[in-house]
Chain A
């Protein structure tokens, strides 16, 4: 029944999916945190930039962003992100960049709602000690905010995992790219779809369960 799978590197394709997910998750976490910092900060210019960024980026389809990164950044502007002339590396890096920039908007908003759960008194007490704005954010507000948004961030991470399939549009050889190949070459449409659906569930279900447990574990008691 599964004979047709021979000759296809299923694990390899899913490994690319995992790598896309992990790198973009780290990038979006970093950039999203900075954006959230800007949006709650005292500098009007940064607040404006954060707000504009989130509202523009989260409303553009991911496909458009990823295709633009390839056609616009790479082919027109020759941005290779240090990938030399290896298309595979360049496309992979462009996909990570696009996914990170896109997902950061959602990370920022999840985090900002977490910041709103931290009582004002925490920031006041920190300021009264003489901590600077960035210290207050870094040492007091964000650690508490992150703990309250583990579940929403898990949602974002699951969505990101599935969004990596869009990278197939610029030829990154991840799971969905292989699936398209297989569907074209084999007469096993339903079985192939089921295999890939199962593969993604294997990635995302444990993520959700693990982070759900972490969320309870790190919750701040008041």
Chain B
């Protein structure tokens, strides 16, 4: 017994070089609501973690704490061995390494698609204009919207906008990509075009944290499924195991409600 705990402690002290995102004992409140309760989560380099759970379970908040769009009340978050700093230059530098894709796309409405993908390269990475343009065009090509480069976001369909948003995040060469319900605001027929881009990304070895209601994606692309309810991580398992044989009652209940139809 004591031997086990000693090894465990030693592991805690020196995080494995392969751990990219580490959340330990994270707590957050929205007023009286304890939205994140003692969250411990480690994401390894190259891993695709899908976070699922009922609405209001804190999964979006969890995702947003990783690049500090939401602050936390206690606990620690580190990315690639560095703890998240306070708001400022240091945090901005760290955010540049963390790609984020939002439910509502959030493309810059006053800039063209191409300019959206170039902005971060030019202003944060200080890439020269020609290099940024080339990279933006090749990324837009990769997500299948190259022909829309000179249009404004409002002229694109939701699926196209979300793929541009993915390209915009990829343009920063992020170490990890966060997806906060990327398909929840999309018409059903556009969901697949976005999921296909994400699956390709997962196959290419990108480290991804994906908050989603798309169980098909979780099954096919995830290395690990994290199930959250009421601000806690209730269960973590490989997708096969989680979907065919969930251990907790809460997960069984959740799956029984969504998988029948």
**B190: Cβ under 8 A from any A Cβ:** no
In the complex, A220 Cα to B165 Cα: how many Å?
18
Interface residues of A in 115-170 (CB under 8 A from B): 119, 121-122, 124-132, 135, 139-140, 143-144, 147
**A217: Cβ under 8 A from any B Cβ:** no
Contact at B119–A221, with CB atoms within 8 Å? no
Contact at B108–A130, with CB atoms within 8 Å? no
**B109: Cβ under 8 A from any A Cβ:** yes
**B100: Cβ under 8 A from any A Cβ:** yes
Please, which residues of chain A bring their CB within 8 A of the CB of B144?
none
Please, which residues of chain A bring their CB within 8 A of the CB of B95?
127-130
Please, which residues of chain B bring their CB within 8 A of the CB of A122?
106, 108-109
A138 and chain B: residue at smallest CB distance: B123
Contact at B123–A143, with CB atoms within 8 Å? no
Contact at B67–A221, with CB atoms within 8 Å? no
Please, which residues of chain B bring their CB within 8 A of the CB of A143?
110
Contact at B108–A125, with CB atoms within 8 Å? yes
Stretch at the interface among B43-51, B53-61, B86-94, B230-238: B86-94
Contact at B87–A125, with CB atoms within 8 Å? no
Contact at A129–B109, with CB atoms within 8 Å? no
Contact at B106–A129, with CB atoms within 8 Å? no
**B107: Cβ under 8 A from any A Cβ:** yes
Please, which residues of chain A bring their CB within 8 A of the CB of B110?
140, 143-144, 147, 220
Please, which residues of chain A bring their CB within 8 A of the CB of B67?
128
Contact at A130–B109, with CB atoms within 8 Å? no
Interface digits, B56-97 against A, CB 8 Å rule (1 contact, 0 not)? 000000000001010000000000000000010100111111
Please, which residues of chain A bring their CB within 8 A of the CB of B208?
none
Contact at B102–A124, with CB atoms within 8 Å? yes
Contact at A130–B106, with CB atoms within 8 Å? no
Contact at A125–B102, with CB atoms within 8 Å? yes
**B223: Cβ under 8 A from any A Cβ:** no
In the complex, A132 Cα to B107 Cα: how many Å?
18
Interface residues of A in 42-101 (CB under 8 A from B): 42
| Size class of the contact patch on chain B | 20 to 34
B152 and chain A: residue at smallest CB distance: A221
A144 and chain B: residue at smallest CB distance: B110
In the complex, A129 Cα to B168 Cα: how many Å?
9
Contact at B108–A126, with CB atoms within 8 Å? yes
Question: Which residue, A124, A125, A131, A144, has most C-beta atoms of chain B within 10 A?
Answer: A125
Take A42-B87, A144-B110, A220-B110 as given contacts and tell me if A130 and B152 are in contact as well, using a CB distance cutoff of 8 Å.
no
In the complex, A222 Cα to B158 Cα: how many Å?
12
Contact at B107–A130, with CB atoms within 8 Å? no
Contact at A130–B69, with CB atoms within 8 Å? no
Please, which residues of chain B bring their CB within 8 A of the CB of A125?
100, 102, 106-108, 165, 168
Contact at B98–A222, with CB atoms within 8 Å? no
Take A128-B67, A128-B69, A129-B95 as given contacts and tell me if A135 and B123 are in contact as well, using a CB distance cutoff of 8 Å.
yes
Shortest Cβ distance from A24 into chain B, in angstroms?
Answer: 28
In the complex, A120 Cα to B108 Cα: how many Å?
11
Please, which residues of chain A bring their CB within 8 A of the CB of B98?
128
Contact at B124–A130, with CB atoms within 8 Å? yes
**B157: Cβ under 8 A from any A Cβ:** no
Contact at A131–B92, with CB atoms within 8 Å? yes
In the complex, A35 Cα to B94 Cα: how many Å?
29
Interface digits, B148-187 against A, CB 8 Å rule (1 contact, 0 not)? 0000101100000000010011001000000000000000
Known pairs A125-B107, A131-B92; list 20 more (Cβ under 8 Å). Answer: A121-B104, A121-B105, A122-B108, A122-B109, A125-B106, A125-B165, A126-B108, A127-B69, A127-B95, A128-B67, A129-B96, A129-B119, A129-B124, A130-B93, A130-B94, A130-B95, A130-B172, A131-B124, A140-B110, A221-B152
Top 5 A-B pairs, shortest CB-CB distance? A130-B96, A125-B106, A121-B106, A129-B120, A128-B100
